[in-house]
C-alpha cells in the first residue's frame, strides 16, 4: 500500500509538471503567434512600401521566428507525448499495485478467517481431548474389570476342563469294560448257538446215517460208557503174542484229539464223486484233442519261423542291393551337384542289415564339416535332392512329383539340378511344382491357376513342346 501511495504521488507530480509545461508551451505559442502576426503586418507594409533591404530583413526575421515557433511546438508536443506515456505507464502500474493490494487484503482476510477457524477447531479439539481422556479412563476401568472377569472365567474353565478330562477318562474306561462285557456276552451267545447247532447237526447226522436216536446213542456211547478199541487198519500186522484189545475209560481230551484227526483224514479224502470216471474219460479226450492242437500249432510255428527267415533273408538281400546301388548313385550325383565335394551313405550297424540305419555324410567343396546340421539351408536342400535323385536312378519309377525342390538354390546350383532333371525325364515323367522360370523353360507343359475378375479360379494349361514345334 505504501508503494502504491508513492507511485500515486509521483504520478500526480508528473501530471502537474506536464500541465505547467503545457501552459508554458501554449504561452510561448501565443507569443510566437503575436510575433508572427506583427512580422506579417510589417511584411505587408514593407510590400506596400517596398524597400528591398528592409523587406529582406523582415522575411529573414519572419522565417527565423516561424522556425523557432515550430521547433518549440515540436518540443512541446514531444514533451506532452512523453508525459502522457509516462502517466499511462504510471496508471497501469497503479492498477497492478491496486489489484495486488486487493489480493493482499483478501489474503489477509482469509488468513484471519483461517486463524479464527483454527481457534474454534482448537477449542473443539481440546473439548474432544478432555472427553477422550474421560472415556479412556472409563474404558481402562472396564478393561481391568473384564480382565479380572476373564481370569476368573479361565480359572473356572480350567477346573471344569480338568474335571471333564477325568470324567471322559472314566467314561472311556467304563466304555472299554462295557465293550469287553458285550464281546464276552456275544461270544458266549455265539458259542452257545454254535453248540446248539452242532448238537442238532450231530443228531440229524446220526439219525440220517445210522438211524439211531440221540438218546439211544448217548445211552450206548455216552461219556459214562467205556470207549471200544480202534479197529486195526488194513495192512497192519498184529503180533501173535499181542493181548486182546479191551475198552478203556472215556477221556474227553483224547476223544477230541481223535475226532480232529479223523476229521482231518476225512477232509483229505474229500467228497465221493460218483461221476468221477465219466469226468476222467471226458478230460482224457479233451487232453488228447489239446495235445493234437498243440502239436499242430508247433508245426505251424516252425513253418512260420522258416517263412520269416526266408523273408528276412530276402529283405536283407534286397536292402543290401538297394543300398549299394543308391550309395553308388548318391556319390556320383553329389559330385555333380557339388563339384569338388564328397558325399556318401554310411550304415549305422553294418552287422545287422535288417535293423541298421543310414547316415548321410556331405562335405561341400572348401568345407571340412560332414554333418548336415552344420550346412547352410541351400546345401542341405541340395544334399536332400542328391539323395532323392540317387534313389530315382537306382530304382526308377514311371513318374515323380517334385514340390519346389529348387526354391532355396541359386542360379549355379539350379542349372546343375536342371541338367539332372533333363536326364531323369528321358526314362520317367516328372511333375514339378515350381516358381523358377528356368525350370519352367525346360517343361513340356505348364499348368497354372489364375483368378478371373469375378473371383473364380481357373486352371490354365499350355503345352510348350507342341507350341515350339508349331
Task: Categorize the per-residue pLDDT at 295 as very low, low, confident or very high, splitting at 50, 70 and 90.
Answer: very high
Comparing 36-40, 301-305, 410-414, 439-443, the range with the smallest average pLDDT is 36-40
User: According to the per-residue pLDDT averaged within each range, which of 10-24, 265-279, 427-441 is highest?
Assistant: 427-441
pLDDT at 290: 92
- How far from each other are the two terminal CA atoms of the chain, in whole angstroms? 113
Check pLDDT > 60 for residue 413: yes
pLDDT at 394: 86
- CATH code for the part of the protein at 296-395: 3.40.50.300
Contact 390, 382 (CB under 8 A): no
Q: What is the mean pLDDT of residues 249-276?
A: 77
Q: Where are the domains of the chain?
A: 2-140, 296-395, 398-409+421-470
| Percent residues over pLDDT 90 in the chain | 4
Q: What is the mean pLDDT of residues 172-200?
A: 84
pLDDT at 292: 92
Contact 225, 249 (CB under 8 A): no
Check pLDDT > 70 for residue 8: no
* Average predicted confidence (pLDDT) for the chain: 79
pLDDT in tens, 276-290: 788 888 889 999 999
Q: What is the mean pLDDT of residues 346-353?
A: 86
Contact 97, 89 (CB under 8 A): no
pLDDT at 143: 85
pLDDT at 291: 92
Higher pLDDT among residues 51 and 388, named by residue = 388
Check pLDDT > 60 for residue 361: yes
Report the CATH architecture of 2-140.
Answer: Orthogonal Bundle (1.10)
pLDDT at 157: 85
Q: What is the mean pLDDT of residues 173-194?
A: 84
Check pLDDT > 70 for residue 194: yes
pLDDT at 470: 45
Q: What is the mean pLDDT of residues 318-332?
A: 89
Contact 273, 250 (CB under 8 A): no
Residue of 387, 378, 381, 421 whose CA lies nearest to 401: 421
Whole-angstrom CA distances from 281 to 269, 277, 284, 288, 292 are 21, 6, 5, 11, 17
Q: Measured between alpha carbons, how far is 326 from 417 in angstroms, rounded to an integer? A: 18
Check pLDDT > 50 for residue 89: yes
Q: What is the mean pLDDT of residues 74-81?
A: 73
pLDDT at 54: 58
pLDDT in tens, 197-251: 887 887 777 677 766 676 777 777 777 777 777 666 555 566 666 666 677 777 7
Amino acid at each position: 500500500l505504501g508503494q502504491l501511495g508513492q507511485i500515486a504521488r509521483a504520478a500526480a507530480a508528473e501530471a502537474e509538471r506536464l500541465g505547467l509545461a503545457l501552459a508554458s508551451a501554449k504561452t510561448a505559442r501565443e507569443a510566437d503567434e503575436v510575433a508572427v502576426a506583427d512580422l506579417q503586418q510589417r511584411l505587408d507594409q514593407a510590400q506596400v512600401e517596398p524597400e528591398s533591404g528592409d523587406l529582406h530583413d523582415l522575411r529573414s526575421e519572419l522565417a527565423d521566428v516561424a522556425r523557432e515557433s515550430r521547433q518549440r511546438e515540436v518540443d512541446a508536443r514531444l514533451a506532452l507525448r512523453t508525459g502522457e506515456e509516462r502517466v499511462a505507464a504510471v496508471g497501469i502500474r497503479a492498477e497492478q499495485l491496486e489489484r495486488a493490494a486487493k489480493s493482499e487484503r483478501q489474503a489477509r482476510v482469509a488468513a484471519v478467517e483461517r486463524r479464527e477457524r483454527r481457534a474454534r477447531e482448537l477449542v473443539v479439539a481440546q473439548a474432544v481431548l478432555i472427553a477422550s481422556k474421560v472415556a479412556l479412563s472409563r474404558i481402562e476401568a472396564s478393561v481391568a474389570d473384564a480382565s479380572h472377569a476373564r481370569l476368573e472365567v479361565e480359572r473356572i474353565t480350567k477346573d471344569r476342563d480338568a474335571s471333564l478330562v477325568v470324567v471322559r477318562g472314566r467314561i472311556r474306561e467304563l466304555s472299554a469294560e462295557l465293550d469287553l462285557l458285550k464281546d464276552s456276552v456275544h461270544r458266549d451267545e455265539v458259542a452257545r448257538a454254535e453248540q446248539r447247532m452242532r448238537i442238532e447237526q450231530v443228531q440229524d447226522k446220526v439219525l440220517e446215517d445210522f438211524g439211531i436216536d440221540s438218546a439211544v446213542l448217548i445211552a450206548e456211547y455216552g461219556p459214562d460208557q467205556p470207549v471200544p478199541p480202534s479197529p486195526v487198519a488194513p495192512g497192519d500186522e498184529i503180533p501173535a503174542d499181542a493181548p486182546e484189545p479191551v475198552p478203556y475209560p472215556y477221556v474227553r481230551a483224547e476223544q477230541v484229539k481223535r475226532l480232529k484227526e479223523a476229521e482231518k483224514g476225512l477232509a483229505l479224502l474229500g467228497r465221493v464223486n460218483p461221476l468221477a470216471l465219466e469226468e476222467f474219460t471226458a478230460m482224457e479226450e479233451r487232453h488228447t484233442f489239446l495235445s493234437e492242437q498243440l502239436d499242430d500249432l508247433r508245426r505251424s510255428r516252425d513253418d512260420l519261423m522258416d517263412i520269416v527267415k526266408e523273408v528276412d533273408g530276402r529283405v536283407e538281400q534286397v536292402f543290401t542291393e538297394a543300398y549299394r546301388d543308391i550309395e553308388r548313385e548318391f556319390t556320383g550325383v553329389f559330385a555333380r551337384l557339388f563339384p569338388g565335394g564328397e558325399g556318401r551313405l554310411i550304415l549305422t550297424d553294418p552287422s545287422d542289415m535288417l535293423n541298421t540305419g543310414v547316415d548321410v555324410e556331405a562335405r561341400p567343396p572348401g568345407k571340412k564339416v560332414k554333418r548336415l546340421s552344420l550346412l547352410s539351408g541351400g546345401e542341405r536342400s541340395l544334399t536332400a535332392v542328391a539323395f532323392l535323385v540317387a534313389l530315382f536312378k537306382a530304382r526308377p519309377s514311371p513318374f515323380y512329383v517334385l514340390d519346389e525342390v529348387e526354391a532355396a538354390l541359386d542360379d549355379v546350383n539350379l542349372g546343375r539340378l536342371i541338367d539332372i532333371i533333363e536326364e531323369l525325364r528321358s526314362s520317367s515323367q516328372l511333375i514339378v511344382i515350381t516358381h523358377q522360370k528356368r525350370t519352367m523353360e525346360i517343361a513340356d507343359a505348364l499348368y497354372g491357376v489364375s483368378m478371373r475378375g469375378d473371383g473364380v479360379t481357373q486352371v490354365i494349361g499350355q503345352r510348350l513342346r507342341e507350341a515350339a514345334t508349331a
